[in-house]
Chain A
């Protein structure tokens, strides 16, 4: 399949015959390999990874905490549910522009990644906690389960499927939004910053090379996250013969 689309790209570039409009796969690959030989390429990737990961992880932790509080305290739920709905429906570009006014440019990509993750994780944790099996909760009540037992045997199986789905969905979203924020903030030494500069100087092959980098990192993220989450997934259960 990939070979077919590469061929289509090749033919399209040959027909257009204008590298500035549509560089060929060969030109793009050559540019990409030359970029990989520079320290700036790897520094930019490192900076962008730091942006996304910091925002993503903080968003996950904050989301789990808020989701728990929303489940436990109806007043928190009533207060935050409309805010979370609002965050989800506001266009990312609007947040980036607003963030340019509110905070320093360096903090905007992590902040945007955070905003992509936080509302989805909060809502899914609240939903997961609400779906705890009430019949098993009664078993826990009768047999006076410890807090750890309750978390492991009741909350974890209920929350994990929701959390895994939201973690998967939001990682891609957060990555793309974070790069978009870097572009709009024209952050130097970042993937988005390099994409912005390529567009300014009309280096379309460089722009394509960076875009391919974004796609490859996104695929890598998905794969790593899938493996990590499969370990936690209830379907990948381990044989437990004795649990205290």
Chain B
């Protein structure tokens, strides 16, 4: 079973973001998606989630696949506490446990406007991980986090997405080295997929991501 993108093209006005993209993403594997800002990483995640419709080509998902999406922005409901924000997605996992792992256990009863940007971002991630999904789409999970938090995030993402297909959009080579099995690098005119990322050093990964 895999997620297949066949000749997928997506344009925004004059700009072609995905140009005839072909990918086969294996279930149970973690793919890091790298590339310059605005090059199409988020668009790839959005096309797979169904939030964006491709202009041409096909996206084939396993039947009844459950998708969980941690957006680049936290996208929390302002009138709900962190715990309630997790509850709205009908979590299959212990929300408090995930909050604890992401250093948010003291903040479960706080409202989003009482949290810092980094805390909100982790709350958004916690909500996505609370769902037992077949496909996890995680957009820049370590953006705006300090080094220690990045490590915590990497461990938590790795633990909770094990056995599912996970696509993580990131600029963070350390995160890639810790969680990814494969690296998809978006460049101006091509998309390159590198396998066996866990066998590569951090320097090699950084080089690939440039």
A interface residues, Cβ below 8 angstroms from B: 135-136, 138-139, 141-143, 145, 149, 153, 157, 234, 237, 239-244
In the complex, B159 has a CB within 8 A of chain A: no
Complex contacts, A136 vs chain B, CB 8 Å = 75, 77
- Bound complex: CA A159 to CA B67 (Å): 29
Nearest chain B residue, comparing its CB with the CB of A153:
B77
B68 within 8 A of A: yes
- Contacting pair A241 B51 (CB below 8 A): no
Asked whether B87 is an interface residue with its Cβ less than 8 Å from the other chain, the reply is yes
Interface size class of B (residues with CB under 8 A): 20 to 34
Q: How far is the CA of A145 from the CA of B131 in the complex (A)?
A: 13
List the B residue with the shortest CB-CB distance to A154.
B77
Verify A241–B68 contact, CB threshold 8 A: no
Provide 15 A-B residue pairs closer than 8 Å at the C-beta atoms, listed in order of the A residue.
Answer: A136-B77, A138-B51, A139-B69, A141-B50, A142-B67, A142-B68, A143-B89, A143-B131, A153-B79, A153-B80, A239-B109, A240-B79, A243-B80, A243-B84, A243-B88
Chain B contact residues: helix, strand, loop or mixed: loop
Assembled-state Cα–Cα distance A157/B79 (Å): 8
Check A241–B79 contact: CB distance below 8 A.
no
Contacts of B69 in A (CB 8 A): 139, 142
Query: Are A240 and B81 in touch, CB under 8 angstroms?
Result: yes
State in angstroms the CA–CA spacing of A239 and B77 once bound together.
Answer: 13
Q: B residues bordering A, Cβ < 8 Å?
A: 49-51, 67-69, 71, 73, 75, 77-81, 83-84, 87-90, 108-109, 111, 131
B75–A139 CB distance below 8 A? yes
Q: Which residues of B contact A153 (CB under 8 A)?
A: 77, 79-80, 88
Contact A157 B83 (CB under 8 A): no
With A135-B71, A135-B73, A138-B71 already in contact, the answer to whether A143 and B90 are too (CB < 8 A) is yes
In the complex, which residue of chain B has the Cβ closest to the Cβ of A135? B75
Residues from chain B with Cβ under 8 Å of A244 in the complex = 87-88, 90
Task: Identify B51's interface contact among A142, A157, A237, A239, CB under 8 A.
Answer: A142
Q: Given contacts A143-B90, A153-B77, are A242 and B71 in contact (CB under 8 A)?
A: no
Contact partners of A242 in chain B: CB under 8 A: 83-84, 87
Q: Using Cβ atoms and an 8 Å threshold, which residues of chain A touch B67?
A: 142
Given A135, A141, A240, which contacts B80 in the complex, CB threshold below 8 Å? A240
B208 to chain A, nearest CB (A): 30
A-B contact sample (5 more), CB < 8 A, given A135-B73, A139-B71, A157-B78? A139-B69, A139-B89, A142-B51, A239-B109, A244-B87
Chain B residue contacts of A149, Cβ below 8 A: 88
Whole-angstrom distance between the Cβ of B84 and the nearest chain A Cβ: 4
Residues of B within 8 A of A135 (CB): 71, 73, 75
A141–B50 alpha-carbon span in the complex (Å):
9
Other-chain contact of B79, A141, A145, A234 (Cβ < 8 Å) = A234
Closest to A156 in B: B79
Chain A neighbourhood of B88, CB < 8 A: 143, 145, 149, 153, 243-244
C-alpha gap A143/B68 in the complex (Å): 7
Known: A142-B49, A143-B88, A145-B88. A239 touches B81 (CB 8 A): yes
A135 to B73, CA, bound (A): 9
A136, A138, A244, most chain B CB atoms within 10 A: A138
